[in-house]
Structure 1
C-alpha cells in the first residue's frame, strides 16, 4: 500500500528540523536556544560497536541508504517497560522511496545477547535499546543505523503540547471510560493514549493497535509541523525532549533533511505474515521461515 500521506514517517528522523525550516526566521534566538536544548536532551548515544551487518560506515552527505528502528515504549517509573511498538524504516534516496515495516510485538525470535527465544518486544525489557537493535538486526538480517525511542506513557505531554490531534477512526469502541466513535475524531493526550492502547475489542488484535499507534504518531508529527502550533514552541520542545530519545546527532538531522527529501516520493508500508499460537500457555506470533526470508530479501534490496 503506497501513499505520499505517509511521508510524515520520514520526518520521525528529523522532526526538530521541521521547526527550524518553518520557524527560525520567526522566533530568532529564543526559538533556536529552546531547539538546541531540546536536541541535547533527546540525544542518547548507545554503547554499541558498528553493526556486524554493515561492512562500511554510511555517509549521509553521499545519500547512502539507511535504516531506523522506532520503538514505542511504555516506560513507567521504576520499570524499563517493553517496546510494544516496533517499526523499521529503510530510506533510499536513490530509489526515492521509504519502506515502513511493523514487527508484531509478540513475534517469537532469538533475543540476541540474552541466549533465549522469546517475544521480540522483551528484548527491550532485558537489555534496552542496544539489545532491541541487535535482536531486530538478527531477525531481519539487516543493519540498524539509528533508533528513535518514544515514551508512550509520556506521549500525552507531547499531544497536549500541540493542542490535541485528529485521526480517522475505522472502528467504534469503548476503552475503560473512553468512547471512540467511528470517523474523524479529535483527541487530547489522555484520550489518544487510551485510543492507541486498545487491542482486545479489535478483531485485528495487535495489528489494529499498531495501526492506531501509527495514526497517533503521524497526527502528532503533522500537527507539530504546522505553523499554528509554533506559538507553543517552548512547550512542544520540552515535551519532545522529555519523551523522545535518539542517537541521531544534530548535524545528522540536518544532513537527512537536506539530502533525503526526495525519498518521500514513494512510501510503502510492509507487514509480516504469520499466525498466533500458544507455547507453554504463552501466546506467540510465529513467522514461517519462508515469510521471514521474503521480508529479509525485501529489506536488503531496499538498502542495497
Structure 2
C-alpha cells in the first residue's frame, strides 16, 4: 500500500472516530436535555388560551406569548411573583416584545373575585391564576409560562460563565459597587444588581430594566457556542429552579422555528402612577394606557379584538 493511501486511510479513520464521538456526545446531550425538561414540566389544565380561537401551529410560525414569573420562594411560603414579564414572539418579523408588569399593579385577580396587587395572583393560585389575571389585564392570550426561582439567578449566571451588562449609573448595593458603563458580573453580583430598587431614580422600573438586562444577557450567553462545554452545569441549575408548561417537543419546535426572533428585542414600560388605597400602595394603570399596550401586543401576535374592561 502506498504511503499516500496509508495517510488517507489514517485521516479518514480519525475523522470517523471524531464523527462517532460527536454523535455520541450529541445523543448524550439530547438525552440529558430531555430529562431536564421532564423535571421542569408543570402542565396547566387547558389545551389553549380562551383568548385564542385556534391553537398555535409552530410549523406555520404563529406568534406566541410567554409569561415569565420571577418568584422569591422561601421555606413554608409559596412566595409572590415579584417579577412578571410578558414576551410576545413573532418569528416572521424576527422580533420579540418584552413588557414588565409592575408588581404593585392594581387589577382584578381572576378566580379570587377582587382587585389586588397583580403579583398576589401567584400567591393565591400559582401560575394558573397568574396567567388568567395577566390575560385579563392585557386582553391577550398567554400560551406558556416560565417560572424562575429568583434565588437561582446567581446559579444560572454562574452556569453560563457570567454576563455582561451596560449600567446607566453608579450605585452600591448588597456590599457591591457597580460603576457606570459596561460591567461583567458573576452570579452573586448579578443577583444584587437586579434587586436594587430604592436608590434607583426610576424606582421599580429601574429594577425591572436591570432584570431584563440580566435575562437577555443570560439568553444571549446561553445560546452561544462557547456555552456548550457548560451544558451539564446549566441543565442542572435549570432542572432544579425552573418550571414551565412547555414540553420537550414544544421546546424543540420553538427553537427550530422561532430562534431568530431573539435578535430584535423591544422593551416596553407600562405607564401609570402610584397611590395608596386603605393605606396600601398600588400602581394604577389608566385604561387608555392598557388599551394602547394591548393593541400593540395584539398586533405583534397578529390577532384582533378589543380590550375588555376590568
Measured against the shorter chain, the TM-score band is 0.7 to 0.9
CA contact (8 A) 1:155 1:243 kept: no
- Is the aligned partner of 1:244 residue 2:245? no
What residue in structure 1 maps to residue 306 of structure 2? none
Distance in 2 (CA, whole Å) between partners of 1:100 and 1:186 is 23
3-state DSSP of counterpart to 1:154: helix
Distance in 1 (CA, whole Å) between partners of 2:132 and 2:22 is 38
| Higher deviation after alignment, 261-270 or 130-139 | 261-270
CA contact (8 A) 1:69 1:148 kept: yes
Match of 1:40 among 38, 41, 46: 38
| Higher deviation after alignment, 227-236 or 248-257 | 227-236
**What TM-score does the superposition give when structure 1 sets the normalisation length?**
0.86
1:213-224 counterparts in 2 under 5 A?
213-224=211-222
3-state DSSP of counterpart to 1:58: coil
CA deviation string 1:113-156 (max 9, x = no partner):
11121111111111110000000000001111111111111221
Distance in 2 (CA, whole Å) between partners of 1:96 and 1:156 is 30
Distance in 2 (CA, whole Å) between partners of 1:84 and 1:252 is 27
Distance in 2 (CA, whole Å) between partners of 1:257 and 1:184 is 29
What residue in structure 2 maps to residue 65 of structure 1? 63
Distance in 1 (CA, whole Å) between partners of 2:76 and 2:238 is 21
| Higher deviation after alignment, 30-39 or 197-206 | 30-39
Distance in 2 (CA, whole Å) between partners of 1:181 and 1:265 is 27
Report the alpha carbon displacement of residue 176 of structure 1 after superposing the two structures with TM.
3.0
Match of 2:282 among 281, 284, 304: 284
Distance in 1 (CA, whole Å) between partners of 2:229 and 2:182 is 25
Report the alpha carbon displacement of residue 93 of structure 1 after superposing the two structures with TM.
3.0
What residue in structure 1 maps to residue 168 of structure 2? 170
Structure 1, unaligned stretches of length 5 or more? 1-22
Distance in 1 (CA, whole Å) between partners of 2:260 and 2:160 is 27
- Is the aligned partner of 1:122 residue 2:124? no
What residue in structure 1 maps to residue 48 of structure 2? 50
- Is the aligned partner of 1:202 residue 2:180? no
Report the alpha carbon displacement of residue 262 of structure 1 after superposing the two structures with TM.
4.7
Distance in 1 (CA, whole Å) between partners of 2:43 and 2:71 is 18
1:140-151 counterparts in 2 under 5 A?
140-151=138-149
Match of 1:80 among 38, 56, 78: 78
What residue in structure 1 maps to residue 29 of structure 2? 31
Q: Mark the CA change 1:142 to 1:157 in structure 2 (over 3 Å): closer, same or farther.
A: same
Report the alpha carbon displacement of residue 54 of structure 1 after superposing the two structures with TM.
1.4
Larger Rg: 2
Structure 2, unaligned stretches of length 5 or more? 1-20, 304-310
3-state DSSP of counterpart to 2:151: coil
Q: Mark the CA change 1:99 to 1:183 in structure 2 (over 3 Å): closer, same or farther.
A: same
**What TM-score does the superposition give when structure 2 sets the normalisation length?**
0.85
3-state DSSP of counterpart to 2:76: coil
3-state DSSP of counterpart to 1:60: coil
3-state DSSP of counterpart to 1:125: helix
Q: Mark the CA change 1:257 to 1:49 in structure 2 (over 3 Å): closer, same or farther.
A: closer
Query: Aligned residue pairs: how many?
Result: 282
3-state DSSP of counterpart to 1:235: helix
3-state DSSP of counterpart to 2:201: coil
